[in-house]
Chains A and B, each alone.
Chain A
Amino acid sequence: MTNTRIPARTRTVTPPPVAPAPPSARDRGTRLLATLFLAPTIVGIVVFTVVPIAGSVVLSLFHWNVIDDPSFAGAANYRETLSDSTVLVSFRNTLVFMVLAVALQLLIALVLALAVNGRMPVWLRSVFRSAFFFPLVLSAASISVVMKYLFNQDFGVVNWLLGLIGIAPVPWLTSENSAMAAVILVYVWQQFGFSFLLFVGGLNNIPKEIHEAAALDGATGLRKHLNVTLPLLSPTLLVASVVGIINALQVFEQPYVLTNGGPGDSTRTVVMVIYESAFEQLRFGEASAVGVLLFVLIMAVTALQFRLSRRFVHYQ
């Protein structure tokens, strides 16, 4: 599959002219090499992930504004956090966002993957594949700048297009009712290509014989997809939804640039709250408490998914 270039001297294996080095010396060499090879990754992970996780938990138990000495707060940060209406709204917004964005993203990706998998010239398939995957390589922050213009109520292209089919202009970014919809649409526009690629890969892994057998049994169209394709694709669906949900719970750039959390708090997400309380209000303890809660939420949702998946995922 790859152009494996085999070094000339290993190509012909002759019996060893001399006995190999004694195993103990070799083992020591191997262990030393393993230590050297792993050091950058393990040290980096410990310093920049493991210690910070512990640090977040510790910080969440203190009041600290960087300037004064930290003072022990016990569970006060959690109590304050859980009674702060902005924080609660941000958790609700994030969950609503997660459910709608992931559902929409998976649905669009699945339909497009099935459609692209159908019969068509090879070049056309690769054009479609590239087009759907393209938004993934763009910066979420700069594309949100662009989308801010497209979703403008008065001169945005989105409302102009809707006008063509007789829909009145929507105050996308300026109304509490529609701002979240705009954030979701912009996010899904950029992200569906990821699930799309996973599905295309998953569909390619389904053996052709199974489709042929299903066709011989008279399964066609939608029924074939529901009864044959979907169960076979379920491991890929699980991965796409797990990764999709973990990413969606961390949404930041789109609401930050499009609406800055507004109007009101209608699009403020958990990560925006972490950013604002830590780096704008210098409330490091509270920010850490929100971070720990987000972490727990992500773990819980992921664990729940794997539990549910035992019932719905079929491995071949």
Chain B
Amino acid sequence: MTQAISTVSRARHSLAPWARITALAVCALLTLGPVIWTVSTSLRTPAESFDLPPKIIPTSPTVESYRGVFDQIDVWLLALNSTLVTGLIAVGQMITAGLAGYAFARLEFRFKKPLFALVLATMMVPLQVTIVPVFLVLKSMSLTDTLLGLIIPAFPTAFGTFLMRQYFLGMPKDLGEAAMLDGCGPWRIFRSVYAPLAAPGLAIVGVLAFNYHWNEFFRPLILETSAQNYTLPLGLVSLQGNLGTGSISVVLAGVVLSMIPAVAVFVVGQRPLREGITSAGVNR
């Protein structure tokens, strides 16, 4: 029934449905075009890289460029660094945001409101404004040019804390009250009642953290000076620098390799990712 009504109201769109869908398809193609071109060029021989019109289906596909990437940069080391940094930050943020979000949602303590306001206020502070003092703080702890220097400052997450607070607030209060009547202390109520329900919210925090920090460029560029501590985006930009105007198919093969985990998370975690991004807008 609702279907019928919405059909009537939507049939009056100014554009005919087929024209609208065609226009959308063209936009989608333009959006994905650079990615398709990257994948296909990385599979062509260097000589064919600049062919116009671009041969989207390579005439003689070759993985030579991928071998070239492994020859010129230590892909395994870069990937290991990126995985360590991103994985530990994601796990760390899930822990800090889960705990702090729960405290703000379900525990009573002094200065709760000002502390929560402080957390929210830090969302407004751009990283670049604080990077010089952060660099100096890390230097005093001998953490510059180490992976830990990238990881530890990223543990607290204002947005993740906000998200988890909303998540815990959305859970029925009587669950905890019932457990309290059963004689559970505050820790048991968290551990056995609420924490097991938090997994979907934590997944959002984890996926957002992974996506952001896997692609992060500014902080690694400043903090990591020796090549052995580079993450993938740094390694790729330096790969492009080394080659100058040389073989672009090798650079593009590197880009494709670095995309794989992000694309995997996009495919597996698209829903938590979308929910995380939209919750920024809907919760206000």
Contact = CB atoms under 8 A, between A and B. Distances in A.
Contact of B129 (A15, A142, A294): A294
Interface in A109-153: 112, 115-116, 118-120, 124, 127-128, 130-143, 145-150
Contacts of A197: 274, 277-278
A116 B24 contact: yes
Scoring B6, B130, B175 by chain A CB atoms within 10 A of each residue's CB, the highest score goes to B130
Interface majority SS (helix, strand, loop, mixed), chain B: helix
Interface string B93-114: 0011101101110011110000
Contacts of A271: 128, 218
Interface residues of B, number: 118
A112 B99 contact: no
A274 B131 contact: yes
Given A119-B17, A127-B28, A45 B9 contact: no
B192 A7 contact: yes
Interface in A55-76: 55-56, 59
A84 B259 CA distance: 40
B281 A208 contact: no
B57 interface: no
A56 B96 contact: no
Given A119-B17, A130-B270, A295 B100 contact: no
A30 B109 contact: yes
Given A59-B133, A157-B37, A197-B277, A118 B9 contact: no
A5 interface: yes
A222 B14 contact: yes
B38 A146 contact: yes
A37 to B, nearest CB: 4
A44 B103 CA distance: 16
Contact of A40 (B5, B28, B96, B133): B96
Nearest to A295: B129
Contacts, number: 321
Contacts of A37: 99-100, 102-103, 107
B217 A140 contact: yes
A90 to B, nearest CB: 12
A53 B185 contact: no
Contacts of B37: 146, 150, 157
Given A7-B193, A236-B281, A295-B126, A208 B6 contact: yes
Interface of A: 2, 4-7, 9-10, 13, 15-16, 18, 20-21, 26-27, 29-31, 33-38, 40-45, 47-53, 55-56, 59, 112, 115-116, 118-120, 124, 127-128, 130-143, 145-150, 155, 157, 160, 189, 194, 197-198, 200-202, 205, 208, 211-212, 215, 220-222, 235-236, 239-240, 243, 246, 249-250, 252-253, 257, 271, 274-275, 278-279, 284, 287-288, 291-292, 294-295, 298-299, 302
